[in-house]
Amino acid sequence: MKKKVKKIPKKNIEEKPLEKKKPEKPKENKSSILENYIIKSDKSTDIRITIEKKGMVAIYNLEVPEIDSATDLLLEEVREELISVTNIGAGDVVEPDAVEKIKKRFMEQAGELLEKKIPTLEEGTKNILINKLIQDMLGLGEIEFLVNDSNLEEIVIPSSTEPIRVFHKKHGWLPTNFQIKREDEIINYSNIVARRVGRQITVLSPLLDAHLVSGDRVNAVLYPISTKGNTITIRRFARDPYTIIDLIENKTCSIEIAVLLWLAVEYEMNVIFSGGTASGKTVILNACMPFIPPNHRVISVEDTRELMLPEFLYWTPLVTRTANPEGKGAITMLDLLVNSLRMRPDRIVLGEMRRKEEAMVLFEAMHTGHSVYSTMHANSASETVSRLTNPPLSVPSNLLSAVNLNVVMFRDRRKGTRRILQVGEFDVRGEKADANILYRWIPEGDKMIKHSESSRFFEDISRNTGMTQTEVNKNLEEKTKILMWLMKNKIRSLKEFGKVMNHYYSDRDILFKEIGRNNVKLFKENKSSDGDR
């Protein structure tokens, strides 16, 4: 039900269209301000973020424009007129490019309507009002401010009785100065997300797992399943994902292991990435994907889109689908895996291996000549072998010989760092399989050390490529030289790194010639990265 607002003469709107919400000045000294920065929203509206310590608790404060009742009435009129003059198809809000075009069109039309209604409106105020209209009509209202903050990883609306909470990369979980006022607003946001991906969230089907156009993952749970009230969790994915250059520089991965993974991916070895929750399995998997040659077809299978591959790759991403309220239309991981084998893939990427059927299809794909990459939960190489060979996966031990490398990730929860804990291979002898650790991370000195010699990895490489060990070593030296040059010249974004890999596979001699000339401009993007990783 729309709230009735007493109409105020437009003269008042012109004089005072909006005010700034100013966070309360801290009563303590300046040391109570932990961090202060500005984010850009649509139409280049500056939004100030202040992370402030009040007593024992840190608060995430947003200084956003506050719309008064008269201005809100004006925006309602403009909103209705925009709806009447703009036609949007159901599929127009799915593709990122289409959404950007719609936004641009909305901004132009909203600007014209506002100028028509208030000719004396200042440019800055007009931009803020346009931004508000776009957020309400095409986004999730003021939550869009949080989605635009590259320092956040999670955004949680717990209920209408609690403030929105965020997980900050630097400060961890923080309550905000935002709170959704009514439960039906949370339901409305859930429905907006559900409709965009062709799903429903109702009392009968109160769970939703979907994604925004930006790629951010959304999970919604309705009352009474969520007993405190309706809740939404948004996992915000980086617009500029980590590449292997980033992982080397932040010590997640050593350059020696990076070139080993490059060698494995280039020559179609099968790799399993294991680790605990939030240890960085998908991050390292995604960072290895640009190593795939451009003439190979890549099929990825995920529950929700998390992988981001460079443009030069021949990539077909597939995602699962839950059943409708009648229990029909579900598309499972197994369905997609079986179907992917009929799509003539060269590489198959599985978001996470969870069930026996999926594991068996994946190992069958390995044995039929497909190069496979997958993640799974296991805290060490030995535990990876144990989890694969025991229920619920129950893969016969003799099939583990198809796996060429196992990369184990580790998350230090005290320091907030992620590291490659182990790099190993599976040593299969008859009905028994063991893990042979090639490299391992040691906390003392925070470095990777060689643990033992390979019993089969380099033998598999030589058998598949015909290269001698001397040629393999030379290949590794070339790769090291390339990565060192990229690090030195800060060529690190997915687009930049993908361009280098494309040159590497298209004409290696030209690449080394450009490296010799230190031609950085050939690979550097025109615009600097926003650092959202």
pLDDT digits (tens, 9 = 90+) for 313-352: 999 999 888 777 777 888 999 999 999 999 999 999 999 9
pLDDT digits (tens, 9 = 90+) for 147-162: 989 899 999 999 999 9
Q: Are 146 and 168 in contact (CB under 8 A)?
A: no
Residues present in the chain in total: 533
Mean per-residue pLDDT, 247-267: 97
Q: Strand locations in 108-242, DSSP E?
A: 152-157, 165-168, 172-175, 207-211, 217-221, 231-235
Q: What are phi and psi of 134, to 5 degrees?
A: -65, -45
d(C-alpha 50, C-alpha 249), whole Å: 29
Residue in this structure with the two tokens 């039309």, named with its chain if needed:
109
pLDDT digits (tens, 9 = 90+) for 421-453: 999 999 998 889 999 999 999 999 999 999 999
Domain for residue 268, yes or no?
Answer: yes
475 SS3 class: helix
- Please indicate, yes or no, whether residues 157 and 188 belong to a single structural domain of this protein: yes
d(C-alpha 234, C-alpha 290), whole Å: 27
- Please indicate, yes or no, whether residues 53 and 73 belong to a single structural domain of this protein: no
d(C-alpha 148, C-alpha 40), whole Å: 7
- The answer to which of 40-54, 230-244, 331-345, 473-487 has the lowest mean pLDDT is 40-54
SS3 sequence of 72-119 = HHHHHHHHHHHHHHCCCCHHHHCCHHHHHHHHHHHHHHHHHHHHHHCC
What is the reported pLDDT for 134? 77
d(C-alpha 396, C-alpha 393), whole Å: 9
Domain for residue 381, yes or no?
Answer: yes
- Please indicate, yes or no, whether residues 176 and 301 belong to a single structural domain of this protein: no
- Please indicate, yes or no, whether residues 149 and 77 belong to a single structural domain of this protein: no
Cα R_g (the chain), whole angstroms: 26
Percent of the chain scoring above 70 in pLDDT = 89
Q: Of 80, 194, 65, which Cα lies nearest the Cα of 137? A: 80
What is the reported pLDDT for 80? 78
Domain for residue 528, yes or no?
Answer: no
pLDDT value at 25 more than 80: no
CATH code of 195's domain: 3.30.450.370
Domain for residue 423, yes or no?
Answer: yes
What is the reported pLDDT for 45? 61
- Please indicate, yes or no, whether residues 374 and 396 belong to a single structural domain of this protein: yes
The domain boundary, picked from 415, 449, 466, lies at: 466
Domain for residue 518, yes or no?
Answer: no
What is the reported pLDDT for 12? 46
447 exposed, middle or buried (CB, 10 Å; 0-12, 13-18, 19+)?
A: exposed
pLDDT value at 77 more than 90: no
Average pLDDT value over all residues in the chain: 86
Q: Are 211 and 127 in contact (CB under 8 A)?
A: no
- Please indicate, yes or no, whether residues 211 and 177 belong to a single structural domain of this protein: yes
d(C-alpha 388, C-alpha 211), whole Å: 30
Domain for residue 513, yes or no?
Answer: no
- Please indicate, yes or no, whether residues 258 and 377 belong to a single structural domain of this protein: yes
d(C-alpha 361, C-alpha 352), whole Å: 13
List 221's β-bridge partners, or say none: 207, 231
The domain boundary, picked from 235, 259, 291, lies at: 235
Amino acid identity for residue 70 in this structure? A
Q: Are 257 and 448 in contact (CB under 8 A)?
A: yes
The most distant pair of C-alpha atoms in the chain lies apart, rounded to whole Å, by 87
pLDDT value at 290 more than 60: yes
Q: Of 79, 81, 23, which Cα lies nearest the Cα of 52? A: 23
- Please indicate, yes or no, whether residues 208 and 324 belong to a single structural domain of this protein: no
Strands ordered across the beta sheet of 207-211: 172-175, 165-168, 152-157, 231-235, 217-221, 207-211
Domain for residue 16, yes or no?
Answer: no
Mean per-residue pLDDT, 357-386: 95
pLDDT digits (tens, 9 = 90+) for 189-216: 999 888 877 788 998 889 998 888 777 8
The domain boundary, picked from 185, 204, 235, lies at: 235
- Please indicate, yes or no, whether residues 291 and 435 belong to a single structural domain of this protein: yes
pLDDT digits (tens, 9 = 90+) for 382-391: 999 999 999 9
Domain range spanning residue 120?
69-125
- Please indicate, yes or no, whether residues 81 and 27 belong to a single structural domain of this protein: no
224 exposed, middle or buried (CB, 10 Å; 0-12, 13-18, 19+)?
A: exposed
Query: Containing H/E element for 60?
Result: strand 57-63
Domain for residue 530, yes or no?
Answer: no
- Please indicate, yes or no, whether residues 224 and 96 belong to a single structural domain of this protein: no
Percent of the chain scoring above 90 in pLDDT = 59
Model pTM?
Answer: 0.81
CATH code of 441's domain: 3.40.50.300
Q: How many domains are contained in the chain?
A: 3
User: Which residues have C-beta within 8 Å of that of residue 426, sequence separation ≥ 6?
Assistant: 385, 400, 401, 403, 406, 433, 434, 435, 436
Query: Containing H/E element for 36?
Result: strand 33-40
Mean per-residue pLDDT, 468-479: 96
- Please indicate, yes or no, whether residues 322 and 299 belong to a single structural domain of this protein: yes
What is the reported pLDDT for 16? 47
Mean per-residue pLDDT, 286-290: 97
